[in-house]
Chains A and B, each alone.
Chain A
C-alpha cells in the first residue's frame, strides 16, 4: 500500500529515468485520449469538407451548439436527474448528436445547398468563395447569437469522472493515470467512428454518399439524388462534430466562442488524414492529439500547438496526399 501511495504521489524524485519513462507513458495516454476526441471532431468535418468539398468555417460553432445541446439535455431536460452525474453526461452527449444533425440538415437545405452541390457550376471558383463567405457569416451569427442566448458565463458538463482516474500500476515504481471521463469519451469516439465507417462502406446510403462525393455528375446519371446525399452528409458531419464537442465538454468548460479554438485543429486533421478519407480524418485528429501532448516532453509547453503545425507541414511536404488520401487528391 505504501509503495502504491508513493508511486501515486510521485515520491521517487531521485530516479530521473523512472520519472522520464512515467512522463512518456502519461503523455502517450493523454495524447490518445484527447486524440480520439479530435479524431471524431475531424471526421465530422471530413464528411463535409473532405467528401462534399464544402469549406465550412462554421463547423467549430456547430460543435459549440453541440456542447450547449448536451449541457441543456443534462441540466434542464432531466437527463442528469434520470441517469445521474456519472452516466447522464454521456447520454446527453449522444442526444446532442441527432439534435445538431437536424440543425445541420435545415442549414444545408436553406443555405449551404445554394452554394454547393450541383449549383456550383454557375458559381465562381466552384462555389468555394461563396461557401467561405456564407459559412463565415453563419459562424459569426452562431457565435454572437450564442452570446445572446447562452450568456458569457462559462458552462460545464460536470461529472465526478472528470477529476478521477483509473490507475495503471504501480509497476517498476511507476503508475499511469487514465482520466475516467476522457477514457469513456475515447471509447465512445472509437465506437462512433467504427459505426460510421460501417455505414459508409456497407450501407446503401453509404454507397450513395460515396458516389455523390466521387463524381456528382455520374451519380446523378445513376439516379442518385446528389443534393439529398449532400444534405445527409452535412447533417451527419454536423451531428458527429456535436458529439465530439459534448465529449470535450466533460472536461473542458465552454462558452459561445469556443469553436474558434478548434476549427483549425479540424481542418489540419482532415488534411493530415487525406482529403476524402473518413478513416484518415480520424487518424489525422489522433495525430494532432498525440503531437500536442508528446511534444511537451521535449519542447516548452507553450510551443505544443506550434508543434502540431510543424508536424502538419512536414507531412504535407513528404506526403502531400495525407495519410490515407489518393495521389490525385493532393493537399
Chain B
C-alpha cells in the first residue's frame, strides 16, 4: 500500500535515467550544426550570380531552421559554409581542394554556377566522396560515371530537345509559318557548347531549320561587330544567342539594334540565364530586351509567389532567377537527404540522395525529386522566360507560366 503511494518507483527512476543517458549520448553524437558547403564565384566576372546563389542558400537555411532543423537528428540546425571559387576553372578547382582539405565536417555541397567550374570542382569532390548538387547544365557533368554529383537542372541537351519544338510552335502560331533559317551565336563555355552540340547534330534538322550562321566566341567580347555583321548578311528567320557573360549579351543586343536587326526584326532566343539577369537592366535599355526569349532550367514560377515576394523584399532583388530558386531547392533536397539518412555524414547523405524518392518537385520545373543512375533528376523540365515590359517572366510551360508568351515580330 505504501509502495503504491510513491509516485516514482525504483524501476521508473532507472528507466528514466537510462532514457536520459541514451538521449544525451544521441545528442552528444550529433554536431551542434550540420555544415553544407556553397562553392560559388564571389569575386571576378561571375561574382554577381554567385552572390544570388548565396542568397537562395541563406534563405533556405533560415526556413529549414525556423521549421525545426533536421528532425531526424533531434532538430540540429543547418549551417552554410561559403567558399569563393573565383572566376576561372583553375581557381575553382583550387578552391574545391581547399574546401575538402580544410572543411572535413561538410556533409554535402552546392556549386559551382558555370558548367566549366562544376566540371573542375566535381573532379575534386568526387575523390573526397562529397555529394555535390549543381544547377549547371552541361551533360558531361553527369556523363563521367561519377557517384557523388547530382544535377537538379535538366541537362543542356534535354533543354534544347524540349525547347526547340515549343519555340517553333510559338513562331508558327504567331506568324503563320515556321521559321526556315537560324543563326547561332554562342560563347564557348561548357553549358553553351553542350546546348548547341545537339542542335547542330540533329535538333535543327529535326525541326526543319537550316543553320546559316554558326559563330562561337570566347567571352568576354570586346566588340560584337563581326558577329552581328554575319547575321546581317545572312538575314536568318531566328537567332539563337547563348552568352554567359552579361557584357556579351549587351554588346550583341545593342549591335543588333544599331544594325537595324533588333527589337523583334530578327526574333532572338537565348539559352541560359545571363540574358535575363537583373544586371541586364543596368546596362541595356529595356526596349532592346522586349520580347527576347530565353530557355532556362528554372525560374520563379506560378505557385511560388510568396517565396518570390520574400526574396525580392529581403535582398532587394527585382525578381527570382534560377540561381536563387534552384539553390533554395537544392538546400531542401540536402535537408531531406539528411532526414532520410538519419546520420550527419557524407556517405550516408550520398546514399540517401541516390535512393531518394521525394515525389513531384516543388522548387524545380517538372519531374521528380529523384535521381537516376547518372545523378540526373528524373524528368527534369525547364522554363521559357520572356522579357515583357522590363521584367523577364516565365511564359512556358503553361502550367507554370506567369504570363502569356508573345512572339517578337516586326
Contact = CB atoms under 8 A, between A and B. Distances in A.
A296 B235 contact: no
B23 interface: no
A203 interface: no
Nearest to A23: B229
Given A27-B229, A147-B43, A162-B254, A257 B87 contact: yes
A301 B223 contact: no
A156 B188 CA distance: 24
Contact of B258 (A152, A179, A253): A179
Q: Which of B48, B87, B215, B233 lies at the interface centre, i.e. has the most chain A CB atoms within 10 A of its CB?
A: B233
Given A27-B229, A255-B45, A155 B223 contact: no
A154 B247 contact: yes
A315 to B, nearest CB: 20
Interface in B33-49: 42-45, 47-48
Interface string A277-316: 0000000000000001100110011101100000000000
Interface stretch (A9-17, A48-56, A223-231): A9-17
Contact of B283 (A19, A27, A154): A154
A296 B226 contact: yes
B89 interface: no
Interface string A1-42: 000000011110100000100110011011000100000000
B393 to A, nearest CB: 21
Interface residues of B, number: 44
B166 interface: no
Interface string B76-114: 000000000001000000000000000000000000000
Nearest to A262: B222
B101 to A, nearest CB: 23
B216 A300 contact: yes
Contact of B279 (A154, A293, A304): A154
Nearest to A305: B218
A253 B265 contact: no
Interface in B172-200: 188
Nearest to A8: B260
B244 to A, nearest CB: 14
Interface string A38-72: 00000000000000000000000000000000000
Interface in A73-104: none
A36 to B, nearest CB: 12
A22 B235 contact: no
Q: Which of B215, B220, B223, B257 lies at the interface centre, i.e. has the most chain A CB atoms within 10 A of its CB?
A: B223
B204 to A, nearest CB: 19
Contacts of B260: 8-9
Interface in B236-267: 246-247, 250-251, 254-255, 257-262, 265
B218 A23 contact: no
A301 B227 contact: yes
Given A153-B282, A253-B250, A302-B218, A293 B225 contact: yes
Given A147-B43, A158-B283, A301-B216, A164 B258 contact: yes
B263 to A, nearest CB: 10
A302 B216 contact: yes
Main DSSP-derived SS at the B contact region: helix
B128 interface: no
Given A9-B265, A152-B48, A253-B250, A27 B226 contact: yes
A261 B251 CA distance: 16
B225 A30 contact: yes
A251 B254 CA distance: 9
Q: Which of B48, B222, B258, B282 lies at the interface centre, i.e. has the most chain A CB atoms within 10 A of its CB?
A: B222
Contacts of A22: 229, 233
B72 interface: no
Contacts of A305: 218
Contact of B232 (A9, A30, A162, A261): A9
Nearest to A162: B254
Contacts of B258: 163-165, 177, 179
A261 B216 contact: no
B288 interface: yes
Q: Which of A9, A27, A155 lies at the interface centre, i.e. has the most chain B CB atoms within 10 A of its CB?
A: A9
A317 interface: no
Contact of A156 (B45, B223, B250): B250
Interface string A135-146: 000000001100
B51 interface: yes
B230 interface: yes
Contact of A293 (B42, B218, B226, B235): B226
B283 A253 contact: yes
Contacts of B24: none
B230 A23 contact: yes
A140 to B, nearest CB: 10
Contact of A30 (B188, B215, B226, B279): B226
Contact of B226 (A143, A163, A255, A301): A301
A154 B48 contact: yes
B318 to A, nearest CB: 12
Interface string B279-310: 10011010010000000000000000000000
Interface in B1-36: none
A153 B234 CA distance: 35
B282 A297 contact: no
Given A13-B234, A144-B43, A253-B246, A27 B225 contact: yes
A160 B50 CA distance: 30
B217 interface: yes
Interface of B: 42-45, 47-48, 50-51, 87, 188, 215-218, 220, 222-223, 225-227, 229-230, 232-235, 246-247, 250-251, 254-255, 257-262, 265, 279, 282-283, 285, 288
Given A22-B233, A253-B250, 10 more contacts: A19-B233, A26-B229, A27-B225, A162-B254, A163-B255, A163-B285, A177-B258, A179-B258, A302-B217, A304-B226
28 contacts: A9-B235, A10-B259, A13-B233, A19-B233, A22-B229, A26-B225, A27-B226, A29-B225, A34-B222, A144-B43, A154-B48, A154-B283, A163-B255, A165-B258, A251-B223, A252-B251, A253-B246, A254-B247, A255-B45, A255-B47, A257-B45, A261-B220, A293-B225, A296-B227, A301-B215, A302-B218, A304-B217, A304-B218
Counting from the closest, the 3 A-B pairs by CB-CB distance are: A152-B47, A30-B225, A296-B226
